[in-house]
Structure 1
Amino acid sequence: MSERDKKFEDPQLAINRVYTRKGDSGQTSLVGGQRVPKTAARIDSYGTVDELNAIIGMCRQTLIDEHGDNDAFDELAHTLLRVQHELFNLGSILATLPEDIGEKMPRVDETDVAALEASIDKMNEELPELRSFVLPGGSRLNAELHLGRTVCRRAERKTVALAETEEVDPNAIAYLNRLSDALFVWSRWAAVKGSGADEVLWDPNLSAGSSA
């Protein structure tokens, strides 16, 4: 791929040392160089996206460890890796004030959202009809994907909160919304296609209070 054909610009950075001591005052820098408190809504938003990226990486590694010899899981492994790159693109745009965003700056867009929707539709067709809420469990991969789903919802809430006071690309919110749905479907698919065990369904009468 030539430089002209690239959709986004390549990273322009060199990481020579890990610590700089600049954050000891409780502030950090945005992509444009502005210093802001680490408690700022924008930092909270892309920090949660970063947390989500780490969980997706954990899910992918669990998939490889548990199902690396199962060709049926290859597509999901590739999808999870793609999502990690997309989340980094999303974090990049969230870490940048609107006035500093360049034309070729990495971001998520309608194509990324549509790819998630296609994956949801394809895998959902292979799943049995759901007649109750499901609980995380049944396999490690299923539980980790559910963990990713809950953190993704939190990232979405943080980003929506940011959008209430600052300009945010609508595709950022749409992407996180669709990704949380995808993680739910992927968790079900992993349970059904992995161990073949029944999904853990919510039963309100299994609580301690139900038999009191």
Structure 2
Amino acid sequence: MKIYTRTGDAGETGLFGGQRVRKDDLRVQAYGTVDECNAALGVARAAGPDPALDAVLAVVQNQLFVVGADLASPGESPYIPRVSAELTSFLEEQIDAMEAELSPLKQFILPGGHPVAAHLHLARTICRRAERVVVTLATEEEVRPEILTYLNRLSDFLFVAARIANARAGVSDVPWQK
């Protein structure tokens, strides 16, 4: 199987099921931005988080493939994994466990600190952009509500994961100097 197919050379791509759409279609922008978030998580993992955090981030990367597949597959299909409440519950469990390790936040913090944390903050902002694109897509086409819930919780998870990366590396969060 070749990596190039030439089928997208005219600015179109195929959704699961065969439908052809422009590469700037909102649905393509949505799953493309989810893919960008996943790539940012790969960079964060390459920066060397502690093994426990790395294992959780690996799970999240796999979950983001489910989000992308769900977005790329409008309609019903028994062959496509779908975002479920269980994926969001996993994030909530991880958030709760990490927050139990952290001191309560008493001020706003800036993205930064340890390189892993900085990359996780970047992934969080990309996740928020993905969420905005999906919200816009949902005004034009049907989008499963579980996707929006998952992306909203994922940004919360990434914020807390950045804080835990700093804490476990012995680096302070960067306080906002107002």
- TM class by shorter chain equals over 0.9
Aligned residue in 2 for 1:84: 61
Shift of 1:197: 2.5
Match status 1:149 vs 2:149: no
Larger radius of gyration: 1
What SS is found at the alignment partner of 1:180?
helix
Match of 2:173 among 199, 202, 206: 199
TM-score by length of 1: 0.81
Any idea what the Cα deviations from partners look like across 1:102-143, whole Å, max 9, x if unmatched? 235212211110010010011011111211111112211110
Aligned residue in 2 for 1:41: 26
Match status 1:119 vs 2:94: yes
Aligned residue in 2 for 1:161: 136
Correspondence list, 1:9-24, <5 A: 16-24=1-9
Aligned residue in 2 for 1:9: none
8 Å contact 2:73–2:80 — kept in the other structure? Answer: no
Aligned residue in 2 for 1:186: 161
8 Å contact 2:38–2:61 — kept in the other structure? Answer: yes
Aligned partner letter, 2:56: T
Q: Percent identity?
A: 47
Aligned residue in 2 for 1:50: 35
Q: What RMSD, in angstroms, separates the aligned Cα atoms of the two structures?
A: 1.1
Separation (CA, whole Å) in 2 of partners of 1:108 and 1:34: 21
Aligned residue in 2 for 1:60: 45
Any idea what the Cα deviations from partners look like across 1:140-195, whole Å, max 9, x if unmatched? 1110000000000001111111111111111111111101000000101111111x
Shift of 1:46: 0.2
Separation (CA, whole Å) in 2 of partners of 1:91 and 1:37: 17
Separation (CA, whole Å) in 1 of partners of 2:57 and 2:171: 23
TM-score by length of 2: 0.96
What SS is found at the alignment partner of 2:78?
coil
8 Å contact 1:86–1:107 — kept in the other structure? Answer: no
8 Å contact 1:60–1:80 — kept in the other structure? Answer: yes
Structure 2 residue runs of 5 or longer lacking an equivalent are none
Structure 1 residue runs of 5 or longer lacking an equivalent are 1-15, 68-72, 205-212
